[in-house]
Structure formats: C-alpha cells, structure tokens
Amino acid sequence: MIKLILVSFVTCFSIQLKAQCEVENNSFREGEYLEYDLYFKYGLIFTKAGISTMNVADVQYKNRNAYKMTLTANSLGAAKAVFSVSDTLISYTTKGLVPLAYLKDAYEGGDYRTERATYDYSKGKVRLRNINKKNEYLRYDTTLVSDNCMYDMLSIVYYARTLDYGNMKKGDEVTVPFLSGRKKVNMTIVHQGVESVSANDGRKYNCIKLSLTINERAFEDKNEAMKVYITEDPNRIPIRIDSKLKVGSTRALLRSYKGQRN
C-alpha cells in the first residue's frame, strides 16, 4: 500500500510538472515556414554567407501529437570555401510546447558534431540526457536534472514567442533552465524595448527586441547568447536573429515567410 501511494504521488507530481511546463501558444502553427539570409561577421563587417530556414510541422512523436521545429543553416559561395557550414537543429515538443527531444547535426569547418538530447518527466523532475559526439567519437553522455522546465537552443526561441508581451515592459525578464552542452544553466529572456527593423523582403517591422543571456552562476556576469527581434503583431515572427560564435558572429535576416497563424 505504501509503495502504491508513493508511485501514485510521483505519477501525480510528474503530471503536474508537465502541466506547469505547458504554455498557451497563439503565435505560430504547423506549416509556418521562415526563410532568412545568413550573414557572418569576422571583425567589424557582416558578409552575406548563406541561407537559413525555420519551419514547424505536425508529427507523431512516440505515439503522441507533437510539433517538430527545424532550423537549417548552410553557407554558400565564397563563404563556403572559407568556412563550410551545414547545420540542422530539430526540437520536438508537445502542442503545449513541453520539450520532448533535441537533435543537432553540425558540419562546420571540416568537423561533424552531433547532439542527441531526450527529456524524461516520469519521476517528478525533468531529466535531460544529452549525448554529444565529434567526428563520431563520444565527447560526453550526461544527464541533467531540473525541478522546472528545461529548454534547448531551438525550443527556447519558440517559447520566447509565446510570452505575454502585452503585460511586459522594457527591462522585464523571464528566466528558465537551459541546456548548454553538458551543463544546465539559466537562460534569461530580457525585454529591451521596441525597434524598427528592416528585413530582406523590402519591408520594415516594429519589433520587440529580446536579449537571451546565459548565467552559469548566481553572481556571475551574464553572457549574451543571442538577440532576437520579433514582430509586435500576434505572429511574433523572428525578423532578425543575432548569434555569437566562438569566432565572430552570425546574423539572420528574414527574406520570406508563409503559413502564419494570424
């Protein structure tokens, strides 16, 4: 009887945890497709270097209805000759944006890196196992544990689109646990006001400027991982995404879109 009560308690707590992770999504739907021009920055100048896409599909993941978010980035032309990039990031989530799995295949500069991360909610906590390889050799196989929802590099962008910006102002922030390689860190999404941003479709958009920063320790300076500019309209489309690399940085500028929810 005691064992049955304990099992029931853990099961109930696990269901509650997953429910707490669910968010209301009014910004995107399956079929959304975004295409970007990709720029690399070495030194002071951004140079056009390739294309990037983001799309959302309706799929079955382990016999349940799910979203499959896919991001691709590919270098082209002269940039490809200097530093070849062919990356694919995939996140699976429930329809309530509870993360289920994260996959990354990255061909960069002659190296091939992979990540295979799977989420487990069965024991009252979030357990995230991440297997990382470089050129087919295992770098690490680690399991991270959190009392709260945990996001990866792709699902965090879609999660950021669902926040209630109508009740937020410049300087407001939201902090969530985040997967960073073999570590669990805090990712803070900071509202930095509204700016007009020119996209590569010939239009200007009023955008909410977001800074996504990583804070590994409670009193350590935050390290900005990316800036995302999303439209003020209900679709919250990312118009521009700036990301930092170990060498230089990238910028993605919207060139076309289709399949919006609103």
pLDDT digits (tens, 9 = 90+) for 234-251: 999 999 999 876 666 889
Residue 8 has pLDDT above 60, yes or no: no
Q: How confident is the model at residue 118 (pLDDT cuts 50, 70, 90)?
A: very high
Query: What pLDDT does residue 52 have?
Result: 95
* Of 261, 202, 209, the residue nearest 235 (C-alpha): 261
The radius of gyration computed from the CA coordinates of the chain, to the nearest angstrom, equals 19
* DSSP helix, strand, coil percent of the chain (3-state; round to 5): 15, 55, 30
Pairwise CA distance, residues 133 & 116, whole Å: 9
Domain layout of the chain by residue ranges: 2-258
| Mean pLDDT within 138-155 | 93
